[in-house]
Amino acid sequence: QVQLVESGGGLVQPGGSLKLSCVASGSIFSNNVVGWYRQAPGKERVMVATITRGGNTNYADSVKGRFTVSRDNAKNSVYLQMSSLKPEDTAVYYCFMYEWPRGYWGQGTQVTVSS
């Protein structure tokens, strides 16, 4: 059974930094595309960043240059380093993994950017 568990969310001031972590179990993590999505109140869940098994990354335009996604296959983990945070980054952040033929989600972690 595949499980994804996020950690690292919290309250941060505008301009601050935060790092999210996600640990996967029950899968061949190194083979899979993994990444992060977010959902703000009243809005749809949207892609933030993804990383392939080969290390190729993809970012939403709104976070390019501020967020960095990375993975450690030895630890079955994916990370999201967030810098220069803005109030509009406030959302529940979800870890995502695609393992054929379906995707899997973590339970989500709240990130609030506010002074």
pLDDT for the residue numbered 29: 83
Question: What length is written for the chain?
Answer: 115
Distance CA(81)–CA(19), nearest Å, equals 4
Model confidence over 5-61: pLDDT tens digits?
999 999 999 999 999 999 998 888 888 999 999 999 999 999 999 999 999 999 999
pLDDT for the residue numbered 81: 98
Model confidence over 54-71: pLDDT tens digits?
999 999 999 999 999 999
Expressed in percent and rounded to 5, the helix, strand and coil fractions of the chain are: 10, 55, 35
